[in-house]
Structure 1
Amino acid sequence: MTDIRTILRESAHVLGDRLEAELLLAHALGVDRAWFFAHAEDRPDTAGVLRFEALLARRAAGEPIAYILGRRDFWSLPLEVTPATLIPRPETELLVEQALARLPERGRILDLGTGSGAIALAIASERPDAEVVAVDASAAALAVARRNAERLGLGRVALLESDWYAALDARRFDLIVSNPPYIEASDPHLAQGDLRYEPASALASGADGLDDIRRIADGAERYLVEGGWLLLEHGWNQGRAVRDVLTTAGLADAFTVQDLEARDRVTGARSGTPL
């Protein structure tokens, strides 16, 4: 039977990625990656090899590794993810940073379309004084978010099934954040890479990708306190369009922040008259 070193070398060649090969083998064997350094010449049992081969085949076919492993780290939080949720991505951490910079002491924040709970739980982990409410139209996604919240000791985050604002009462928030669907429905990327496996309802939003952003912007004034901020993640080429949407909805002082690749990524505006 082949040893660990050879298995990793050959599977890394198949995938074109050593890290992914290590992650899959560690998952199949029930060890962490550090274990490989001391056990490179070990020969895993047949059951472990068969588990690994099944995982390797799934990844080679294109299935996202986050779904295969059932987890993805975000903001240093280990999150469960399933095909019912988007896979949290590093660029979304910019939205968390912008939210934390604007959230007042004992502030109230609403996360629209929470999915796995990544944004809401990251904010709650940093700001135990804040009241965090997270909604999603998908009961399956909310179940994942709830398990994440409980496992991370963040059960105080309120989770609600809602189509954007539909199930909310008259409460108002200091901050509303969202990583909504923003891809054009005809975008060919939806049929490529990881996007093929992620929930379409959480990715695409109309001909120009802005239908859900318009819905969120149009309802924001009703749920924001005076001077409260709406912050949205969006595509790299949508900054100007999103600013226009927010301004048309009556929000003030629209701005866009770029990510580490100098691409427009987060746009926000506030309730009230311009400064």
Structure 2
Amino acid sequence: MLTVRAALAEAAARIDSATPRLDAELLMAHALGVTRDALLLGHLGDPAPAGFAALLERRLNHEPIAYIVGTRGFWSIDLEVGPGVLVPRADSETLIEAAIAHFPDRAAPLRILDLGTGPGTLLFAALSEWPRATGLGIDASPAALDYARRNAEALGFADRATLQQGDWFAGVGSSFDLILCNPPYIGLDEPLGPEVREHEPGEALFAGQDGLDDYRRIIPRLSAHLAPGGIAILETGWAQGDAVSALVGAAGLTACLHRDLGGRPRAVSAKLNYHCATPI
């Protein structure tokens, strides 16, 4: 019987991803029912568990790690995820960083809106930062909202978060200090790896031929829902900053570009009557 150490080495050699060893370790930790740290510190000499082979087979079929293990860490929280929801990505933390940068010397946001909340990714990360805030999460997908409701309960946010099915701003009558949005922004002909194209929900990925269809629907309505001093922050593809900023400017708002940890354009914020230090 293979040891955990040997099974990890064999699995990492077979996994086709940017992080094969990490993938193997996460799958093995899940099979053993321990954390990755505990795996590395105390279980490498153990016999490999029988359930590891089935988990590895799923990964070899390009199923996302987050779907296989059922969770994904984002910002300071852990979220339950699975088929039917967009997997939270570290790049989206750029939106939370931009929100924190906007509010440090101001009153913290009290009303937060997350458009396309998925499993609650941006909304619950924001609520974890501002304990006095309440939030509204909107999503068109019943499956995504089921995950969001479970995550709200698990994180202790059920009394601070309202979750409802909807089409962007439809039926939303309030104004908000902070609006967060990670809309679909991939063009129909853009190449995607099988992990994304074959497993994650297309309605959370694709937005017309140029990937801008949903921005065209969302951005003109931002000013009607932004409270004075508020900010809206929208995730973008790395090559979409200029196009999305132009839409923000055309809506009478100030656009600011925000880069991710890799230095790539990752988000555009929109503000009312506000000077951006680095305007687009």
Match of 2:271 in 1: 270
Runs of at least 5 residues in structure 1 that lack an aligned partner in the other structure: none
Matched, 1:137 2:137: no
3-state SS of 2:180 partner: strand
1:7 and 1:232, CA in 2 relative to 1: closer, same or farther beyond 3 A?
same
Distance in 1 (alpha carbons) for counterparts of 2:93 and 2:8: 31
The amino acid that maps onto 1:254 is: A
State TM-score, norm by structure 1.
Answer: 0.91
Which residue is 1:68 aligned to?
A: 68
| Identity among equivalent pairs (%) | 47
Aligned partners of 1:217, 1:40: CA distance in 2, in Å? Answer: 51
Q: Match for residue 163 of structure 1?
A: 167
What TM-score, normalized by structure 2, do the two folds share? 0.89
The two structures, once aligned, show a CA RMSD in angstroms of 1.9
Are the structure 2 counterparts of residues 14 and 249 from structure 1 closer, same or farther at C-alpha, using a change threshold of 3 Å?
same
1:95-134 to 2 correspondence within 5 Å?
95-103=95-103, 104-134=107-137
Give the alignment partner of residue 207 of structure 1, picking from 206, 209, 212. 209
Q: Is the 8 A contact 2:67 2:83 kept in 1?
A: yes
- Mean Cα deviation higher: 99-108 or 73-82: 99-108
Letter in 1 for 2:208: G
Equivalent position amino acid for 2:42 in 1:
A
The aligned counterpart of 1:260 is: 261
Q: Aligned AA for 1:135?
A: I
The more displaced of 29-38 and 179-188 is 29-38
**CA spacing shift, 1:131–1:11, aligned 2, 3 Å:** same
Distance 1:38 1:177 in 2: 41
Q: What's the offset of the Cα at 1:269? A: 1.6
Match of 1:242 in 2: 244
> Which residue of the partner structure matches residue 224 of structure 1?
226
Distance 1:130 1:3, change over 3 A: same
Q: Which runs of 5 or more structure 2 residues have no equivalent in the other structure?
A: none
Out of 20, 23, 36, the residue aligned to residue 23 of structure 2 is: 20
1:146-161 residue pairs with structure 2 within 5 A?
A: 146-155=149-158, 156-161=160-165
**Aligned-partner SS, 2:228:** strand
Answer whether contact 1:242 1:267 (CA < 8 A) is retained: yes
The alpha-carbon deviation at position 41 of structure 1 amounts to 3.0
Once the two structures are superposed, residues 189-234 of structure 1 have per-residue CA deviations (whole angstroms, 9 ceiling, x without a partner) of 2x54334311111111011111101111111122112343221110
Asked if the contact 2:187–2:209 (Cα under 8 Å) also holds between the matched residues in 1, the reply is: yes
Runs of 4+ in 1 over 4 A off after TM superposition: 272-275
Distance (Å, rounded) in 1 between the aligned partners of 2:169 and 2:266 = 23
Give the letter aligned to residue 7 of structure 1. Answer: A
Whether the 8 Å CA contact 1:232–1:268 is kept in 2: the answer is: yes
8 Å contact kept, 2:109–2:177 = no
What pairs up with 1:167-206 in 2 under 5 angstroms? 167-168=171-172, 170-189=173-192, 192-206=194-208
Equivalent position SS for 1:188: coil
Alpha carbons of 1:41 and 1:105: their partners in 2 closer, same or farther (altered >3 Å)? closer
Q: Does 1:93 align with 2:93?
A: yes
